[in-house]
Amino acid sequence: MSADVAGTTAAPGVRAYIGLGSNLDDPPQQIRRALAAIAMSPGVRLIAASSLYRSPPMGPPEQPEYCNAVCMIDCAIEPAAMLARLLEIEREAGRVRGGEHWGPRRIDLDLLHVDGVTSATAGLRLPHPGIARRNFVLVPLAEIAPQLQIPDVGLVADLASRLPRDDLSMWPL
C-alpha cells in the first residue's frame, strides 16, 4: 500500500498524518475503507499510505491482533475539523466510543501530527501524546515520512529505530 494515492479533492494546505487501526470485522478491509473515506473528505488529499502492520492489542489481551497503518494527507481544513471528520468516519464504520478503554474496535483513527500545529486542549492534543512510544505508529510513519521532525519529540526515523519490533510484523496479503 506504500505509494502515492491521489484523493478526489484538491487540498492545498498543511500536511497531516493519521494513524489507523482495526481488529474487528476484516481489519485490513476496515483500514482500506477508512483510507477511501479520508480520501473522499472535502478539503483533504490523500498523499501516501503505509503498508499494513500486525500488532498485539495494547488493552485487554483477550482480543484479536490489530491491523495498523499510517497515512499522509494535505489538509485545507483546520485540525479540529479534521479530527471531527475522523470521528465521523469512525461512527459511519460502526464505532461506538465510550466502551472499554483500548478494547476491540472496528476502526480507530488518530490525528497524529499536523505540520506547524501544537495543541493541548481536552479535545485535540498534537502531536499525539503516544506517538513516540508506539511501534505500530512509528514504523508505518517512518515508512512514508522518515524525515518528519515532530516538535519536542524527534525525527521519525530515529524514533522508530529505537523501538523494539519483535511484536510487530507485516500484515499478510
Active-site amino acid positions? 95, 105, 108, 110
Nearest C-alpha neighbor of 119 from the set 16, 25, 28: 16
Q: Which three cell numbers stand for residue 129?
A: 501524546
**Which residues touch 16 (CB under 8 Å, ≥6 apart)?**
72, 73, 74, 75, 79, 82, 111, 112, 113, 114, 115
Distance (Å, whole) CA 70 – CA 66: 13
65 DSSP 8-state letter: P
**Where do the DSSP E strands lie in 50-153?**
53-55, 66-75, 108-114, 119-120, 125-126, 149-150
Q: Compute how many other C-beta atoms are within 10 angstroms of the C-beta atom of residue 121.
A: 8
